[in-house]
Amino acid sequence: MPQRVTQPSTVLTYRQTIQQAFRGVSDALVEYHKDREFREYQQQLAFSAQDAAQLSEMRYRGGAASYLEVLTNETNYFNAELGLAQAQANERVALVQIYQNLGGGWQQ
């Protein structure tokens, strides 16, 4: 009789564990998708900032812009590159979370 009492409890625990695993994978996939979209946005921002920095440099050499404009655009480009690096890191962390939630892992 005690075996029957523990069996439903074991099945319930098993079902809860499976549900938590599916929820974890689903949440990790959503996070990865959001991080990937943000990284793509940051990549476009970095490309645009790079173009602006190059254009302001050419304008400066042609006498059509001040050096302050060049420095401002180079600073914006640098900040965009920093944002891109952070977005890439976040995307990779989200990918590791997917792997971990799928049961892959390592010893802590």
pLDDT in the model for residue 39? 98
Residue predicted with more confidence, 6 or 10: 10
Number of domains in the chain: 1
Q: State residue 1's pLDDT score.
A: 46
Burial of 3 per CB tally in 10 Å (0-12, 13-18, 19+): exposed
Distance CA 81, CA 47 (A): 9
Query: Has residue 4 got a pLDDT over 90?
Result: no
Domain containing residue 11: 2-101
Could you tell me if residue 107 is inside a domain? Answer: no
pTM of the model: 0.79
pLDDT tens for residues 52-108? Answer: 999 999 999 999 999 999 999 999 999 999 999 999 999 999 999 999 888 887 666
Q: Is there a domain that residue 106 lies in?
A: no
Residue 108 lies in a domain: no
